[in-house]
Structure 1
Amino acid sequence: MKTQLLLLPLMVFNILNAQQEGKNIIKTNVTAYAFRNLNITYERSINRTFSISLGFSTITNGDVPIIKKYFEDQVDNEFNDIQMSMTSLTIEPRIYLGKNYNNGFYFAPYYRYTKLKMDNMVYNFSYTDSNNVNREIPFNMSGDISANSFGLMLGAQWYIGKKKNWVLDWWIVGGHYGFSSGNVIGRPKSGMPLSAEDQENILEEVNGFDIPIIKYEVDADSKEVRVKIDGPWAGLRSGLSFGYRF
């Protein structure tokens, strides 16, 4: 009898452990590393058809080849040295359609928070002042944008290996849409203060930009120009993740 009582806690532990086995997955989107995107996702199974995952990704600070390519023939290479970093946090409930436990095709509504930072941008502002003198003022520009968006992803997940504890997760296609806000600040490279006439002409030029959809407000003082931005935010998701189930 005493032996049975001693074994009872061990039996309960083994049962609970068996129930929990295989409900946790740690994985990473291996295709994203080609874009300097370091990422990790934790997925927790709730039942056979439903799970919740939490993903974190960060793009380390560096060049932005796409922006370089777009601007190289349009703005005299002013943006060629631009540096960018980005961090995202994604909360994603998943609904699986397969017969096996959290396996097979799924659809996943999700929420994503994104923080984007850019620096080392240069903008050359020029105008003719009241004395008919051509003025050129190079600015160092930096900015940050925060975005909240909601989306839907379709994908498929498989367990592989002898013990079915390795995971392949194919993000077939996903897209999200939301809203963003941010600030861009420009300071004269020379460090010289901006005159009242400089500020007036800068405000006139920036307020004359024809930027569709995006709303912005601009103000300036002797030290800097500040642009506050509000607008839509959209993105696509795709890739192949590899992970471990435990």
Structure 2
Amino acid sequence: MKTKNFLGLTFLSLTIILCLMPKLSSAQQNTVKFNLLPLIGKTFSFEYERMVAPKMSVNASVGFRAKSSLPFKKYFDDLIEDENFTSDATLDHFTFSPEFRFYTSKNGTGGRGFYVGPFFKYGKYNIATNYPYETDEGNTETVPLKGGIGTWGFGFVIGSQFKLAKSVFMDFRILGPHYGGASGTISGKMDLSPQEQQYLREELENLQNDIVDIETTVDAQGASLKAKSPWGGIRAGLSIGYRF
């Protein structure tokens, strides 16, 4: 984990250094953007791009999602393989993604045309659910589980940015695969009898699969799950921006 944190801090430090480089001669150095694609998943994403050389820039993205039901539920069902966990789950999150951009086309000066570059992505996901278990009387009750999962990953992006009108730009992030890791803890408090503990323990152990490594603890005061897994995905975007 220390290595992961070091790599992330190194990447962010390089980003800050580039931002402090001498200003270019061109008047318009900055672009603020709003990414339209994440709205599909109820996420708001904003970006800021700063030119640091004629064909090189630093871009930073911030995204956040208010607490609501799971987006793309089938993906989580396939990952967790237990509908008891996902059926009543809610999610909110925050993400931060700094990236370098190298504009390769002839008109790339000033942040226009085709670009490529590396990026780092950090995410903090808060999840809550009511997990069912059987009581001593044979009734079905639920234990409230909630917690946070941190994710990180490195990737490579390709895209194209073009001018729509004076000071108005469209940024099309075509493909941005990334890979890293995820870890977190989810827990819930509830008084449980020995029999209820055993039943809940057996149910929670069903969450274990080949992708997610889960350590389950159940006692008289409730339950907790520590999870660790690989983490990957694909970034894409269609952002409208204003340059100044």
Say yes or no: TM over 0.5: yes
Contact 1:143-1:183 within 8 A present in 2 as well: yes
| Matched residue, 1:195 | 193
SS at the partner of 1:212?
Answer: coil
Amino acid of the residue matched to residue 112 of structure 1? K
**Cα distance in structure 2, aligned partners of 1:44 and 1:135:** 59
What's the offset of the Cα at 1:65? Answer: 4.7
What's the offset of the Cα at 1:205? Answer: 4.3
| Matched residue, 1:170 | 172
1:125 aligns with 2:133: yes
Alignment equivalent of 1:141, drawn from 129, 142, 145: 145
1:52 aligns with 2:66: no
Amino acid of the residue matched to residue 164 of structure 2? I
Alignment equivalent of 1:96, drawn from 103, 115, 119: 103
Percent identity between the aligned chains? 28
Counterparts in 2 of 1:78 and 1:87: CA distance versus 1, 3 Å: closer
| Matched residue, 1:106 | 115
**Cα distance in structure 1, aligned partners of 2:209 and 2:199:** 19
Unaligned runs of 5+ in 1: 1-15
| Matched residue, 1:226 | 224
How many aligned residue pairs are there? 218
- After TM superposition, list the pairs within 5 Å mapping 1:53-92 onto structure 2: 53-67=59-73, 79-92=86-99
What's the offset of the Cα at 1:169? Answer: 0.4
TM-score after normalising by structure 1 = 0.78
SS at the partner of 2:54?
Answer: coil
Amino acid of the residue matched to residue 181 of structure 1? S
What's the offset of the Cα at 1:67? Answer: 1.8
1:153 aligns with 2:161: no
What's the offset of the Cα at 1:19? Answer: 2.0
**Cα distance in structure 2, aligned partners of 1:18 and 1:175:** 31
1:212 aligns with 2:210: yes
What's the offset of the Cα at 1:206? Answer: 3.0
CA offset digits 1:221-244 (Å, max 9, x no partner) = 322100000111111122211111
Unaligned runs of 5+ in 2: 1-21
CA offset digits 1:149-207 (Å, max 9, x no partner) = 1111110011232x4x211100111111110001111344xxxx212343344334433
What's the offset of the Cα at 1:18? Answer: 8.0
**Cα distance in structure 2, aligned partners of 1:213 and 1:199:** 25
Higher mean alpha-carbon deviation, 227-236 vs 32-41, is at 32-41
**Cα distance in structure 1, aligned partners of 2:74 and 2:163:** 41
CA offset digits 1:31-56 (Å, max 9, x no partner) = 32232211211111111221111110
Q: Which structure has the larger Rg? A: 1
**Cα distance in structure 1, aligned partners of 2:206 and 2:239:** 45
CA offset digits 1:77-96 (Å, max 9, x no partner) = 77444221111000100111
**Cα distance in structure 1, aligned partners of 2:227 and 2:55:** 41
**Cα distance in structure 2, aligned partners of 1:209 and 1:82:** 14
Amino acid of the residue matched to residue 31 of structure 2? I
| Matched residue, 1:43 | 49
- Give the RMSD, CA atoms, in angstroms: 2.7
**Cα distance in structure 1, aligned partners of 2:60 and 2:75:** 34
**Cα distance in structure 2, aligned partners of 1:89 and 1:75:** 29
What's the offset of the Cα at 1:108? Answer: 2.0
SS at the partner of 1:206?
Answer: helix
TM-score after normalising by structure 2 = 0.78
